[in-house]
Amino acid sequence: MTRKLRINGHSHLLPYPEEIPQFMKEKEIFWVDDERKHMLQKDWSRPVTHSSFFLDEKLLWMEKNKLDHAVVLNLSQLYGNGLRLEEMKKALRFQNDFNAKVQKNHPSKFTCGFVVHPGFIYGALDEMKRCVEELGLKVLCLPTHFMDSIGQWRCVFDEENDRIFELADKYKLAIEIHPYDGDKMIKLENTNWRFHLIWMLAQCGDAYHFYTLNGMQERFKNIRTCFAHGGQLAQMNLGRRIQGFDGRPDLFEGKTHPRKAIGHKNIFFDTLVHDTDSLKLMFKRQGTNQVLMGLDDPYPLGEMENDKQSSYPGKILDLAVKENIITETEKGQIWEDNVLQWLFGDDERAKQDLIDKILK
């Protein structure tokens, strides 16, 4: 029996300090200190908690943990919200060029994503064309919410952004939806990591709410959308959404019923929900075919090595098998088949091309 590949569908990578353009530090947009101890923005600092934030160390970490391949998303700090137009365009272009270089230099190890800012639609469309046609990137990374040109926070699936998804549909892209910037959206004091532990789940739930209400899974049949962190609130909140839709139809005129999205073949969720009870609910609601492995490494909320929690990459699926939530066969599908299905849909040749690169 052929060994199933271990493909991580949710990973991140920091540039080395010397790779970040000087203007990004001068403008306090984003940089990493020379000691590689902190990532920084204006009035913000976060410790670099693991060596695998960086490329060479990431490769060693992947080898140690027997990870064959990883999908590298953009950095959440580089969604560009709140930046002036030209600064935003340059910062996002740097992120996309960096990811493209990583993918080009290490095609057997990394598939990389690119990011655009939905608040500036024409620039977003131009950057999508550049990233797909010139850089060969096929994973579009989008935030759950973005700041528009007048400073209003909007859901990424607002209908005025349909042109982005029309172009993504043309290119048959995989899409990753990831939350961030909750502390800028919600007027609460940023204490005890509340925006990562609580509000990120709400942001994902809100984005899923509008993705499904707008029937995007049917309107754009060629895209495959994955919601980060298991779309955890989306699973728990389904009954409330259904009751609201049925109980107040006047608020949902022209919208699609939430039930129609459940288990849809083009809607995916990653495994990063941290406990098997949550994982079991996701499998029960969506089916195991719609769940793909996501470690969110190297962040401390990712599935990393942790002695206090006896944790390691892949632990939650091992526990799910041990607790008879899934079979070994389903575990292998979540690690390999489902990630490939999200990335390439029904393009079997593209799937095989990546498998061949990995096994080369």
77-113 pLDDT per residue, tens: 999 999 999 999 999 999 999 999 999 999 999 999 9
Report yes or no on 72 lying in a domain: yes
Residue 281, domain member (yes or no): yes
Residue 2 is assigned to a structural domain of this protein: no
Predicted confidence band at 308 (pLDDT cuts at 50, 70, 90)? Answer: confident
Integer-rounded Cα radius of gyration of the chain? 19
Those residues with Cβ within 8 angstroms of residue 187's Cβ, 6 or more apart along the chain or in another chain: none
The answer to whether residue 325 is domain-embedded is yes
The answer to the question of residue 204 being in a domain is yes
- Please provide residue 341's backbone torsions phi and psi, each rounded to the nearest 5 degrees: -65, -40
Q: What are phi and psi of 5, to 5 degrees?
A: -70, 150
SS3 72: strand
Contact 165, 223 (CB under 8 A): yes
Residue 187 domain flag: yes
Q: Is residue 188 part of a domain?
A: yes
* pLDDT of 3 strictly over 90: no
How many domains does the structure of the chain reveal?
Answer: 1
Which residue segment(s) compose the domain that 246 sits in?
Answer: 7-359
pLDDT in tens, 226-255: 999 999 899 999 999 999 999 999 999 999
- Beta carbons of 200 and 182 less than 8 angstroms apart: yes
Angle between helices 121-129 and 85-105 (to 10 degrees): 20
Contact 20, 91 (CB under 8 A): no
The beta strands (E) that lie in 66-157 are given as 69-72, 110-115, 139-143, 145-147, 153-155
Distance CA 326, CA 314 (A): 14
Take residue 341 and report the two structure tokens written for it: 């299905």
CATH code of 160's domain: 3.20.20.140
CA gap 39, 81 in Å, rounded: 17
Count H helices and E strands in the chain, helices first.
16, 13
**pLDDT, tens digit, 9 for 90 and up, residues 147-186:** 998 899 999 999 999 999 999 999 999 999 999 999 999 9
Q: Encoding tokens for residue 4?
A: 């199933």
Q: Of all helices (H) and strands (E), which one includes residue 44?
A: strand 44-47
Does 1 reside within a domain? Answer: no
Whether residue 2 is predicted with pLDDT greater than 90 in this model: the reply is no
pTM, rounded to two decimals:
0.96
Other beta carbons within 10 Å of 35: 8
